[in-house]
Chains A and B, each alone.
Chain A
């Protein structure tokens, strides 16, 4: 198997894609955001239970490729307990990582997505649920990716 492919589809990504965590609807969610990638049809909803500024619980539902699903699975695991400012800061770091390939030590399991930068067409897959999460902590809504730089609709 090609080295770049092994960088893209790391064990942790394949494992999360196969058995996604938090893959459910949160009935008591008070923040919901929807993320779509109109060009490829990826489609996720991120559910958050927020207490003031803090994410108490997170989940997601939807469909998409291994990269987007694993990304949403890890995201919903990692942001529990974090504040809105933490989530926004992490969004910036993930965005930098998937576009440059540079992951610092603080990224933990998320560093598995650094290999995405070698596949420009797949950056939007890795970042889609992060856009939805960013919209959700800010109040919810719908986000859509168009080209490299997703925008809120």
Chain B
């Protein structure tokens, strides 16, 4: 069971990378929405696998192949439990959120989306939850439609939702926590409203998995995609949850080994779920590293992580709002663990370049949300994003650096 109040500073010691100087200053790593750091337990799991168990999965009869297959499938069961899916048949390993969404756009979308159908998105989507649908729309003659947001606060304008959920809508794909604004969307409510009308739903969980409790049955979505590397896991591994009934009716995407039952020169039959969607030798160390990451997170407790992230974000938001010449984006209240901001007359890239020289790692740019930036009327924002190993003292240091930047530009 997770402890009620984790020893945050002891956890920090599990991340050797955080203990270093950058440009002569202690590193303050505030780019967690891009990728998180990895605890020793995850690195050790990868080393152990390669030093002891490495072999190809599912096809071997020898001992090492049995071990790697067992570890690979144990990771699938761990991921099922992490999302509270009904069955491991509903867990497909992917390279990450982007690949999960592309799989659905191609395999499910290719079969079920027709000319004149509408794919409903929100105005705060990441490019990875826009572009695959644009490509699908181009191929099929379907149309895209967007749920609008309310200004800089970046909440969905839910009054407009009913009028957008028309009979032509076949899919509603939405981000759970916005990577550019920090908005936490009421996905369970949105999915329920869509489901009543027979609309299939997809939740982009890139910023929510590993930052809060996620129960796909409680959310009631048909698909949920996330990335391992943002939640202490290795890069190149993620998972896609798909409700069994929907996946059973979805044709495969990639063809090759592993996804077949029988192959004839002219006709093949497909393997069962979830293997139907996993062609070729998969990333094996990835799921094993992810397994270690999910164990690590659940030992801390995801409710604890959510509270900690929120505390960091609220504190940073409040400290920034006390400064002159700061424009803040995203909701004032409950939010994911990040703050997006702009300083008057200073471009986000200049903010990030100067902060870096003080050891503070931020991100500046459009955050792969160009349409959202256009909507907000800004070319880019600077973003500080947090995880459980960050501290209030680091936020204080970040604020000092922001003051330095303002002085430097005479604002």
Contact = CB atoms under 8 A, between A and B. Distances in A.
A27 interface: no
A12 interface: no
Listed residue (B347, B357, B365, B380) with the most chain A CB atoms within 10 angstroms of its CB: B347
A44 to B, nearest CB: 11
Contact of B408 (A1, A41, A63, A121): A1
A9 to B, nearest CB: 7
B36 to A, nearest CB: 21
Contact of B354 (A5, A39, A42): A5
Interface residues of A, number: 23
B370 interface: yes
A9 B408 contact: yes
A65 B350 contact: yes
A73 interface: no
A121 B202 CA distance: 35
B357 A63 contact: no
B81 interface: no
A14 B349 contact: no
B373 interface: yes
Nearest to A69: B347
B353 interface: yes
B403 interface: no
Contacts of B348: 65
A64 B365 contact: no
A67 interface: yes
A64 B364 CA distance: 12
Contact of A67 (B345, B350, B373): B350
A43 B379 CA distance: 9
A63 B379 contact: yes
A67 B354 CA distance: 12
B113 to A, nearest CB: 28
A14 B379 contact: no
Nearest to A5: B357
B353 A18 contact: no
A41 B353 contact: no
B371 to A, nearest CB: 12
A65 B345 CA distance: 10
Interface string B392-411: 00000000000010001100
Interface string B339-369: 0000001111110011001100000111000
A106 interface: no
B145 interface: no
B160 interface: no
Given A41-B365, A43-B379, A122-B353, A65 B408 contact: no
Contacts of A67: 349-350
B59 interface: no
Interface string A73-106: 0000000000000000000000000000000000
Given A1-B408, A2-B357, A63-B379, A40 B349 contact: yes
25 contacts: A1-B404, A2-B358, A4-B23, A4-B357, A5-B353, A5-B357, A9-B408, A18-B345, A39-B365, A40-B380, A41-B366, A41-B370, A42-B379, A43-B379, A64-B347, A64-B379, A65-B347, A66-B347, A66-B350, A67-B349, A67-B350, A69-B347, A119-B353, A121-B353, A122-B349
Q: Give 5 closest A-B pairs by Cβ, nearest first.
A: A65-B347, A65-B349, A41-B366, A2-B357, A63-B379
Interface of B: 23, 345-350, 353-354, 357-358, 364-366, 370, 373, 379-380, 404, 408-409
